[in-house]
Amino acid sequence: MPPSPLPPRPLSPLPAEPGSPRPAAPFAGRRIRAAVIGAGAIGRGSHLPALARLAEEGETEVVAAVDVDKDAVTAFCAEAGIPHAYTDLDLMLAEQRPDLVTVCTPPTLHRAQTVAALRAGAWVWCEKPPVPSLAEFDAIEAEEGTEGGPYASIVFQHRFGSGSRHVRWLLAERAMGRPLVAHCQTTWYRDAAYYAVPWRGRWHTEGGGPAMGHGIHQMDLLLDLLGPWSEVRAMAGRLVHAVETEDVSTALVRFANGALATVVNSVLSPDEVSRIRIDCERATVELTHLYGHANDNWHITPAPDVPSEQADTWRDFGPDVPSSHLEQLRELIASMRAGERPRSSGADGRTSLELITALYKSAFTDTTVRAGEIGPGDPYYTALHGGAPGWAPGAAEEVPA
């Protein structure tokens, strides 16, 4: 029996609802004026190249950069040909009036900088982790525009590219049957020298341990593929490093669609890998990579009774577009021009932070935590450590010999 054809893949991952009003395009006929906050490695190595590529395509122009270090931002601007260097964010926003601000600073600064940009009328693209708590995320969302922006989006570049788009489509169409079992791991290695940097391993400045600072990308992609989660049961440990946060965590997650997942986040693993595996009724789909993925990093193994012609359609990922800051920024610019909320903003951007918050609460209270239960009045709503004994700042236990 020939395989039944799948519907065509959508050109856009989030098509507009039929009959929904579309605001007038606010940036028609001109480039998006962008500014970069933070002249460090992530701004130089990821944001600027993406902005420069879109500038070549006539989409963007970088008009300014901001950093508290005058020498650093001056050198940053000189190297990239950016016309205006600032050490004062408010002054830059007032004088340059950018359309888009990209935030490349430590997490503890994200809320204030994002709110300042939104109040100045700029859209925001902020590096992960977005903010150190759900309370701060909700405070940012309250500052967003109501119709047509400006909106604040989080850098979750692993969601973007041809591989994740194709698999998301297969899962949404139930092409391989229902998703049943999933595994999500971010098992990386960070030595003592890594944690010698004063702001690392601390709740206030890094925002969390590997669950927040490292595994957030894979967990976000898992949620993007499988949809809403419903409950989590977790454990966390401080097995090697003398830090405030954890250095390893494990979790069991139930999804609203019934699928069950295991999640492991570690900085204790010399054989480093980032991995997602989803077992569906008719096939297993697996992604294995480290810091980014292309089509070849995805593998689909059909069940024994699946016709080879059917499996071949599942394995047709189309032209290879690797995950990257560029691909997310390209979609964000398209959303800006359409006056639409971008992916990984608002409720869509909040879901990963909520899962991570629930993971910490479950691990530190030895309870099952359900989606939606952490809100104002819950200590974990305002701090990921929740004030838990042995985990709150200053309570790090001695590392066993």
pLDDT beyond 70 at 1: no
State the CB neighbour count (10 A cutoff) for residue 13. 16
Q: Which of 218, 228, 249, 113 is nearest to 156 (CA)?
A: 218
Where are the strands (E) in 267-372, listed by range?
268-280, 283-289, 298-302, 369-370
Q: Residue 20: pLDDT above 60?
A: no
pLDDT tens-place string over residues 78-127:
999 999 999 999 999 999 999 999 999 988 999 999 999 999 999 999 99
Mean predicted confidence (pLDDT) in 371-393 = 97
Task: Look up residue 266 and give its DSSP letter.
Answer: E
Q: What's the rounded mean pLDDT across residues 133-137?
A: 97
- Relative to beta strand 248-255, strand 229-237 is antiparallel
Residue 147 — very low, low, confident or very high, per pLDDT cuts 50/70/90?
Answer: confident
pTM: 0.91
Backbone angles phi, psi at 300, to 5 degrees: -120, 120
Identity at 260, one-letter amino acid code = L
pLDDT reading at 15 higher than 70: no
- Using pLDDT thresholds of 50, 70 and 90, give the confidence band for residue 8: low
Q: Does residue 283 surpass a pLDDT of 50? A: yes
Average of per-residue pLDDT across 306-310: 97
